[in-house]
Structure 1
Amino acid sequence: MYEGAVQELIDEFGRLPGIGPKSAQRIAFHILEADREDMNRLADAIRVVKDKVKFCSICFNVTEQETCSICRDPKRDETVLCVVEESKDVMAVERTRSFRGRYHVLGGSINPIGGVGPDQLHIRELLGRLNDEKIQEIIIATDPNLEGEATATYLGRLLSTIGIRVTRLASGLPVGGDLEYADEVTLGRAFEGRRTLNS
């Protein structure tokens, strides 16, 4: 253990997802050795993102305005809605250039062990959108892991009585993976081969 501020910095980095103790220590020492101007820019960028960025009032994607650029775009297909877990998944889907509809970000996935149930997600808001908008198809694009599959199954059952076509991304995505890490071709093929969850 290091003294004072250095250990506090290591501890804070260690709390970030995907950062283990050794990575946290490497990052902390990089900051200590880096140019002060560079680190001030980093600190400013963190402050600005925390001050300016919020969630879209319609789809819950990240934005600096009341609504995100996708929700404001009149050229997007209003009849197709892609449901994803996180904002980073929106960007993964956008990179494929296979989807021109709109999005709904759940804010996570159902994970009983982690204490996340349907009430902690933006599912109520999703149902509200179905009343207000011209949606004809919902594409469930949750991660192909245990939590993502549980979320997709829950949504499929919930939406089966509404009379809107519900589809799930097709194979091509590895089970246990994250959409964020899928390449554009694989994710694009998954969109093309999506399957209906309700009949």
Structure 2
Amino acid sequence: MDAESERALDALFEDVMVEMAEQHQDQKQNRAKKEPLFTSVYQFVSEYLVHAYARRVTQNNRWCAEWFKHTEALARLQALWLAYEDLRYKGPLGQSVWWNQHLDPCMAELMDPDKGPFSKCDPEKDRHTPDLPLPTKQIAEGLEDPTMDRPNPSTDLAPITDVLEVVQTPSPYRDGDSEFAE
């Protein structure tokens, strides 16, 4: 290779390296911003999920139009939305991970006709049946709290209020009405 060709090749290589560095910097800035595409779990479900994951709702494939009234569904869909918002910045592989590792297992649990949170709702009659919490009893006075030997949540773990803030979403209702806010 002659000297002129070598200089041209070096200049081209330098241009490519500068372009790659600029692209990498842009990607880092976009990831640092991480502006959410959706502002709430309700918006995520109503504007994206129900269209992207369109299924025929039957007795064997349950869904409840009032999904937001089911505590488990709301918590699972909140986690699904947050995973989507994070993984969408990771390109095609992130989307594949979201579909295969997050969406498919989550929807299988939610739509399970025997044990999912919508199992008592009747899609053919458009009937919503709220889920009941698991039973629990008050700890007897004088018994040791079973959490005593565990880490102190106020010092060793994230405060429960931080965790609850993640699960709470803006209400689709206005002032407790049963109609959606416009």
Scaled by the length of structure 2, the TM-score of the pair is 0.30
Give the number of the structure whose alpha-carbon radius of gyration is greater.
2
Higher relative contact order structure (alpha carbons within 8 Å, sequence separation ≥ 6): 2
Scaled by the length of structure 1, the TM-score of the pair is 0.28
